[in-house]
Structure 1
Amino acid sequence: MSTVPEAERTQPFPTFKDARTHLTSQQARRLGGIRWGSAFFGWVTAMGMVGLLSALVTAGAAALGLVSPTPDPVAAAPAMGVAGAAVLLVIIFVGFYSGGYVAGRMARFAGARQGVAVWLWTLFLAVIGAVIATVTGVVSGPQLDELVRLPMSGGLMSGGVLSAGAAALAVGVLVVTLVGAVLGGLGGMRYHRKVDRDLVVPG
């Protein structure tokens, strides 16, 4: 004997497409916020990619005689002037795009937010590193007062071509890291949207 009530037999059974669409929308509402764990691993990826690409570019430039070999790959960029700054920005963009992509793939939803979270991790850890360098003096890096103050004489705010170029590079780095991470997060999320479409309408 069937235990299914007669009234339930007449109700339409939801199609796989309807169920999948409903499931995805429910997941997006429940899981669509920032995933700080995914963003942290995206930041790790971004830092690793920037370091790797910087080392490769520096080694190639040194082999061609464009710059002298240096243990600090980023330090070679100023020696190349505008070209070095442009190369540095490209390296940073690729690195943070990779980091945003990893965060977007891991979190699945809200790729742009995951990219912003990668960028926020960068700022947060930079401040933490500056605090540690200030308190202990052991970790090499900018001191906290150097990170937050705007000097009225000397440094980036003193005027001149060099300081203006350094300030422009600093602003460019902030913008490029944010844009790269957000675009990477959207790219990582797009992969999951393709998977959803293939499950709804098999090819």
Structure 2
Amino acid sequence: MDRHDDGSQTAVAQPVTDNPSDVRERRVDEERALEARRREEFGGLNLGADFFGWLVAVAVTLLLTGIIGAILTGVNSSVSITQDEAERSAGTIGIVSAILLLVVLMIGYYFGGYVAGRMSRFDGGRQGLGVWLIGLVVTALVVVVGLIFGNEYDVFRRVDLPSMPIPTDTATAGGLITLAAVVLGTLLAATVGGKAGQRYHRKVDRVVV
């Protein structure tokens, strides 16, 4: 308080300080609002990231297929994980070949989904789904071209590209089981990989906040 010459006193206003908890709450609310605007503008499927994720999935699949094939050849094993073997296994349930093929594909699509999720800030699960959808569409197109123009145009047979093998004999129980396992397994792996890739951005956000 200030004292005047006449003896009266005048109260001096004290600076108002915000409660630290209120400051934190406002900051969190602002960050959430900003995150919502960013998600609205940049969220959803990122086709560019999904395409590059699919390329990674194919590359990893080919790499693992070559490594496993070399190992099996070295031990004189008759097991194969090529497209032809996948189709034969569809009818006879070749357990070893089917499991190897499924594991290789799931690993490939996991890494593909991870790359797509890492490249995109939002919706990692959707990016993994996008990778899987691109693989499904490409496979369907190649299969249709092969059916229309003959086996010489079947890319999967020519380069052993088992990115999403679909057995030609799907009428049998074995074919349906193999097809369902491949479709669901790769979908799950790509989605989980996309979510794992997105975690990098969440870690950065926590540090910034």
Instruction: Please indicate the TM-score interval, normalised by the length of the shorter structure.
Output: 0.7 to 0.9
1:53 counterpart residue number? 64
Q: Secondary structure at the match of 1:66?
A: coil
Query: Residue 101 of structure 1 contacts residue 187 of structure 1 at CA under 8 Å; is this kept in 2?
Result: yes
TM superposition shift of 1:87: 1.6
Equivalent of 1:99, from 101, 112, 128? 112
1:186 counterpart residue number? 195
2:154 counterpart residue number? 140
1:3 counterpart residue number? none
Bigger radius of gyration among the two: 2
Q: Which residue type is aligned with residue 175 of structure 1?
A: L
1:32 counterpart residue number? 43
TM superposition shift of 1:28: 1.3
Alignment partners' CA distance in 2, 1:103 and 1:195: 17
Q: Secondary structure at the match of 2:153?
A: coil
Give the root-mean-square deviation of aligned CA atoms.
3.1
Alignment partners' CA distance in 2, 1:34 and 1:109: 9
Q: Secondary structure at the match of 2:77?
A: coil
Give the count of matched residue pairs: 173
1:35-184 aligned within 5 A:
35-67=46-78, 73-75=82-84, 78=89, 81-137=94-150, 138-141=152-155, 155-157=169-171, 163-184=172-193
**Unmatched 5+ stretches in structure 1:** 1-9, 143-150, 158-162
**Unmatched 5+ stretches in structure 2:** 1-15, 157-167
Q: 1:156 to 1:22 in 2, by over 3 A?
A: closer
TM superposition shift of 1:190: 1.1
Alignment partners' CA distance in 1, 2:149 and 2:178: 29
Q: Secondary structure at the match of 1:156?
A: coil
TM superposition shift of 1:46: 0.6
TM superposition shift of 1:50: 0.8
Instruction: Select between 51-60 and 21-30 the one with higher mean Cα deviation.
Output: 21-30
Alignment partners' CA distance in 1, 2:203 and 2:59: 28
1:148 counterpart residue number? none
Q: 1:170 to 1:130 in 2, by over 3 A?
A: same
Query: Residue 55 of structure 1 contacts residue 73 of structure 1 at CA under 8 Å; is this kept in 2?
Result: no
Q: Which residue type is aligned with residue 175 of structure 2?
A: A
Q: Secondary structure at the match of 2:170?
A: helix
Q: In the TM superposition, what whole-angstrom CA distance separates every residue of 1:143-163 from its partner, at most 9, and x where no partner exists?
A: xxxxxxxx9xxx331xxxxx3
